Amino acid sequence: MDRRRDRAEWVDYLLGLPDKAFLNIIRNYLGRIETPYHKPRFIEKLEKYLSTAETQKAIEDLLSAEDRQVLSIIALSKKPAEKELTDFLSRDGIEDADIKIRQLYDRLLIFPDKEGRLLFTPALKNMLTEKAISVSYAFPPEEGTWPGNTPVTWCTPALISAFFSILIKDPTIITVKGEIKAKKQEEIAEKIADFTENPQRLIAITQALTKLDICTEKDKKTLLKKADNLSQISQSQRLSLFAAASIAEKEDIQKLAKAILLLNHILISGKNYTKRNINRAILFSLGELAEKYGDTIEETLILWGILHKKDTVYTITQAEVPSSAAPQMIIEQTGRINIYPHAKLEDILIPACTADLEKHDIVSHYTISKKSYKNIVEAGIEPGEIPLRLMVTSSAALPHSLSRTLELWQEEAERIRHIEGIIAILQPQYAQLVKKLPGYKHCIREELTENILLIKKDRAEEWQNLLSQAGIEIVLPTESDQEQKDTRLETDIEIPAINIKTEIPPCGNSKRKKELIQELEKKDIPQETKKNILAKIESGFILFSAQMTDANSVQDILEADGLDYQAKIRLIEESLKSGTEKLELEITSPTGTINIKTRPIKLTKENNKHLLLVKNPSGAHPLTIEVAKIKKVKRLPQTLS
For 187-240, what is each residue's pLDDT tens digit?
Answer: 898 899 999 889 999 999 999 998 888 887 888 888 888 888 899 888 889 999
Mean pLDDT across the stretch 361-372? Answer: 89
pLDDT of 557 > 80? The answer is no
- Residue 81 bridge partners (DSSP): 117
How crowded is residue 437: how many other Cβ atoms within 10 Å of its Cβ? 14
Mean pLDDT across the stretch 159-185? Answer: 85
pLDDT at 482: 43
Mean pLDDT across the stretch 476-496? Answer: 52
User: What percent of the chain clears pLDDT 70, i.e. is strictly above it?
Assistant: 90
Mean pLDDT across the stretch 262-286? Answer: 89
> Taking a C-beta distance cutoff of 8 angstroms, is the pair 158, 360 a contact?
yes
Task: Spell out the residues 6+ positions from residue 520 whose beta carbon is closer than 8 angstroms to its own.
Answer: 530, 533, 534, 537, 545, 548
Q: State how far the Cα of 230 lies from the Cα of 210, in Å rounded to an integer.
A: 13
Q: Letter for the amino acid at 626?
A: E
- 592: three-class secondary structure by DSSP: strand
Task: Spell out the residues 6+ positions from residue 328 whose beta carbon is closer than 8 angstroms to its own.
Answer: 339, 340, 342, 343, 344, 347, 348, 393, 394, 395
Mean pLDDT across the stretch 71-85? Answer: 90
What Cα–Cα distance (Å) separates residue 369 from each residue in 141, 332, 628? 51, 14, 94
pLDDT of 499 > 70? The answer is no
Question: DSSP label at 629?
Answer: G
pLDDT of 474 > 70? The answer is no
pLDDT digits (tens, 9 = 90+) for 385-420: 888 888 888 888 888 888 888 888 887 777 766 667
Sort 408 into a burial class: Cβ within 10 Å, 0-12 / 13-18 / 19+.
exposed
Q: State how far the Cα of 412 lies from the Cα of 384, in Å rounded to an integer.
A: 11
Helices (H), 177-329: 182-191, 193-197, 199-211, 220-231, 235-247, 253-266, 275-286, 290-293, 297-303
> Taking a C-beta distance cutoff of 8 angstroms, is the pair 406, 339 a contact?
no
pLDDT at 636: 83
Pick the closest to residue 196 from 208, 186, 206 (CA basis). 186
pLDDT of 481 > 50? The answer is no
Mean pLDDT across the stretch 615-636? Answer: 84
pLDDT at 479: 45
**∠ CA(341), CA(346), CA(351), 5° rounding?**
80
Q: 58-72, 114-128, 529-543, 556-570 — which is least confidently predicted?
A: 556-570
Q: State how far the Cα of 8 lies from the Cα of 30, in Å rounded to an integer.
A: 21
**Helix H or strand E segment including 538:** helix 527-539
pTM above 0.85, yes or no: no
Q: Which residue has the higher pLDDT, 378 or 532?
A: 532
Band the pLDDT of 506: cuts 50, 70, 90. low
Q: 28-37, 102-111, 527-536 — which is least confidently predicted?
A: 28-37
> Taking a C-beta distance cutoff of 8 angstroms, is the pair 53, 82 a contact?
no
Q: What sign for the dihedral angle of Cα 579, 585, 588, 590?
A: positive
pLDDT of 498 > 70? The answer is no
pLDDT at 95: 83
Q: State how far the Cα of 64 lies from the Cα of 537, in Å rounded to an integer.
A: 12
- Residue 214 bridge partners (DSSP): none
Q: State how far the Cα of 49 lies from the Cα of 45, in Å rounded to an integer.
A: 6
pLDDT of 378 > 80? The answer is no
> Taking a C-beta distance cutoff of 8 angstroms, is the pair 310, 148 a contact?
yes
Pick the closest to residue 158 from 301, 338, 326 (CA basis). 338
> What is the chain's mean pLDDT, rounded?
85
Q: 45-49, 143-147, 246-250 — which is least confidently predicted?
A: 143-147
pLDDT at 560: 67
Pick the closest to residue 59 from 98, 109, 101 (CA basis). 109
Band the pLDDT of 10: cuts 50, 70, 90. very high
Mode of pairing for the β-strands spanning 452-455 and 364-367: unpaired
Mode of pairing for the β-strands spanning 110-112 and 336-339: unpaired
What Cα–Cα distance (Å) separates residue 512 from each residue in 55, 97, 544? 13, 24, 10
pLDDT of 554 > 80? The answer is no
> Taking a C-beta distance cutoff of 8 angstroms, is the pair 45, 57 a contact?
no
> Taking a C-beta distance cutoff of 8 angstroms, is the pair 120, 128 a contact?
yes
pLDDT at 495: 57
